[in-house]
Amino acid sequence: MKRAPMFPITVYGSSISYFTGKLENYFRVKGIPYRLQALTSRYHANIVRKNTGSTQMPAIELADGRWMSDSTPTIQWFESEFPEHPVIPEDPLQRFFSLLLEDYADEWLWRPAMHYRWYYQQGALFASNHLAAEIGEGVPLPNVLKRMIIVRRQRSGYTTGDGISPDQVPGVEAIYRRTLEQLEAIFRERPFLLGDRPGLADIGFSGPFFRHFGLDPVPAEIMRQQAPAVWEWAARLWNTRLESSSASLLQGVPADWGPILDEIGRQYLPYLCANVEAVAAGRKRFDAEIGGVRYRGARRSRYRVWCLQRLRDNFRALTSEQQGVAQVLLARHGCWEPLWRQAQLPLEVGFCERLPFFADAKMIDVYDD
């Protein structure tokens, strides 16, 4: 394993952050040493913005002065640097579907995860107290005011401000409960999504499950009561090191991934298509009915257009024979048509091309309203 000049690695983020938790799980599984540093708004935000192009967390600082941003391309870069004990499957079809599940966990399960944290008073109290002390360290404001600012910002950005009004709450919470059922059925049978050792899909699902659903009071209690095998998996992943494991993966794409793929075909990919239409039309917000839930005033995201393009690129990287097998499976679960529904994607030339070493400023859309 390479030790210099890359090490030490500093991860700037939060100990209750979705993507910080995802990246920490990856580093721990791989046995890559790192140090977690709170990305405080007063002491570190400007440094991170200068070196990565944004203040999104986590940001990674290498010992040689390079900085990195965005968890998925960061993990792929580290996989190329540390090919021993890979989390990305070598089998091309497993790799493609693992990348699909990772993207789904990143960009769709984000919605119920943020909802549970900030909609309920128990979650908002827990998270705002924690972040006021951790991220708000050194900010010269009373703690109660810091908490109020954090709650207002998160709700206006990620729950009520992202198309989730009270009548959408049952539908959003149903996403979480279905996901618990899907994963519980898998983890009752085996330790990880692809077999006896963790892979990229496990790392992807750790984002919402380890640092949101497993920490926030309301979804954590639901998980403990209704999906104890999922609860156990989240702890198992945190405690697993691939360097000490010789366990193997299953062959092919497991049949019990089917309900998750159904969810991707019914919900996530249609949402990406609605987002593409909004970006192409220059709309900052859009309405969309996804899986029977009517989202009103959801925020558009140019980054998620790039995510859809990456999914297509991953498919095109397969051989023609592999593409045929993948197409049959995608079509079986309703994923094929929405994956290609939009003939042209409204992506600017060079968008996100510097990741993971510099984030495009337009990854994080800024709104006037």
Structure tokens at 352: 């996100």
Assess whether 202 and 306 both reside in one domain: yes
The number of domains in the chain is: 2
Residues 98, 76 share a domain: no
Query: What mean pLDDT is predicted for residues 334-353?
Result: 95
Residue 299 lies in a domain: yes
Domain hosting residue 60, numbered range: 10-81
Whether 152 and 218 map to the same domain: the answer is yes
- Is there a single domain that holds both residue 325 and residue 289? yes
Instruction: Quote the tokens at residue 288.
Output: 């969309």
The pLDDT of 39-60, averaged and rounded, is 94
Edge-to-edge order in the sheet of strand 67-69: 35-38, 10-13, 59-61, 67-69
The secondary structure of residue 250, as a DSSP letter, is P
Residues 100, 71, single domain; the answer is: no
Q: How far is the C-alpha of 220 from the C-alpha of 266, rounded, in Å?
A: 26
Mean pLDDT, residues 88-107 taken together = 97
Residue 185 counted as domain residue: yes
Same domain, 21 and 113: no
Is the pLDDT reported for residue 93 higher than 70?
Answer: yes
Mean pLDDT of the chain: 94
User: Considering 57, 81, 105, which residue would you say is the last residue of a domain?
Assistant: 81
Q: Which of 103-112, 245-254, 289-298 has the lowest mean pLDDT?
A: 245-254
**Number of other residues whose CB lies within 10 A of the CB of residue 83:** 10
The CATH number of residue 321's host domain is: 1.20.1050.10
Peptide bond into 270 cis (omega under 30): no
In this structure, the answer to whether residues 288 and 192 fall within a common structural domain is: yes
Residue 367's pLDDT is 34
Q: How far apart (Å, rounded) are the C-alpha atoms in residues 228 and 234?
A: 10
pTM of the model: 0.95
Residue 244: Cβ-neighbour burial (10 angstroms; 0-12, 13-18, 19+): exposed
Does residue 86 lie in a domain region? no
| Least confident span in 72-76, 346-350, 358-362 | 358-362
State the pLDDT confidence band at 2, using cuts at 50, 70 and 90. Answer: very low
Mean pLDDT value of segment 184-204: 97
> Looking at residue 366, what is its pLDDT?
41
pLDDT of residue 115: 96
Given a cut of 80, whether residue 19 has pLDDT beyond it is yes
CATH of the domain at 70: 3.40.30.10
- Grouping H, G, I as helix, E, B as strand and the rest as coil, residue 287 is strand
Is residue 274 located within the same domain as residue 156?
yes
Rounded mean pLDDT, 102-126: 97
Please report which confidence band the pLDDT of residue 5 belongs to, taking 50, 70 and 90 as the band edges: confident
Q: With contact defined as beta carbons under 8 Å apart, do 20 and 211 qualify? A: yes
- Band of the pLDDT at 43, cuts 50, 70, 90? very high
Say whether both 58 and 116 belong to one domain. no
Other Cβ atoms closer than 10 A to 248: 10
Q: Average of pLDDT values for 160-170?
A: 90
Of the candidate ranges 85-99, 148-162, 254-268, the one whose mean pLDDT is the lowest: 148-162
Mean of pLDDT values over 261-287: 97
Residue 304 lies in a domain: yes
Domain match, 49 and 113 both: no
